[in-house]
Structure 1
């Protein structure tokens, strides 16, 4: 019976010590993991960006081509109709 009580007491103490240590160390661990993930995401983003030959301070304006093939009446023909009672 005494051995059982010692075992339960030891488990109880270990549980609360572990819980206390997790509360102290968790913010540091979470921050470290978040920083690592942020760095990986930045590296992936930089790899996806195309290499441009634009110098810093230079401005490039891309103009859309003029679309002259469309007219204002491109919706369709107007059909006049009468209501039947």
Structure 2
């Protein structure tokens, strides 16, 4: 009898959680979406705010950051060796 009682309690808890999750899942997902959107706006809003300070015309190119002069170029890898086929 105790085994049957345990099985019924497990099934009752399972279906109760299933019903509760169906009721509250849209609210939880909406909250998570709002928090994610807010996080992205905070992180990437600084890039758009930098360009809003000065007016630009169409086609104008603006470079905000200068490259580091202390960094070495990766173009100088080594010598170029030309191989020829031997018949």
Whether TM exceeds 0.5 here: the answer is: yes
Structure 2 residue aligned with 1:35: 34
Normalized against structure 2, the TM-score is what?
Answer: 0.59
Normalized against structure 1, the TM-score is what?
Answer: 0.60
Instruction: Give, in angstroms, the shift of residue 48 of structure 1.
Output: 2.7
Q: Which ranges of 4 or more aligned residues in structure 1 deviate by more than 6 Å?
A: none
Measured in 2, the distance between the counterparts of 1:20 and 1:10 equals 15
Would you say how many aligned residue pairs link Structure 1 and Structure 2?
59
Counting only pairs closer than 5 Å after superposition, residues 43-82 of structure 1 correspond to structure 2 as 43-49=42-48, 51-52=50-51, 53-54=53-54, 58=55, 60-61=57-58, 62=60
* Bigger radius of gyration among the two: 1
Structure 2 residue aligned with 1:10: 9
Instruction: Give, in angstroms, the shift of residue 51 of structure 1.
Output: 2.1
Measured in 2, the distance between the counterparts of 1:14 and 1:30 equals 23
Unaligned runs of 5+ in 2: 62-87
Instruction: Give, in angstroms, the shift of residue 12 of structure 1.
Output: 0.6
Unaligned runs of 5+ in 1: 64-85
Instruction: Give, in angstroms, the shift of residue 50 of structure 1.
Output: 5.7
Measured in 1, the distance between the counterparts of 2:40 and 2:7 equals 46
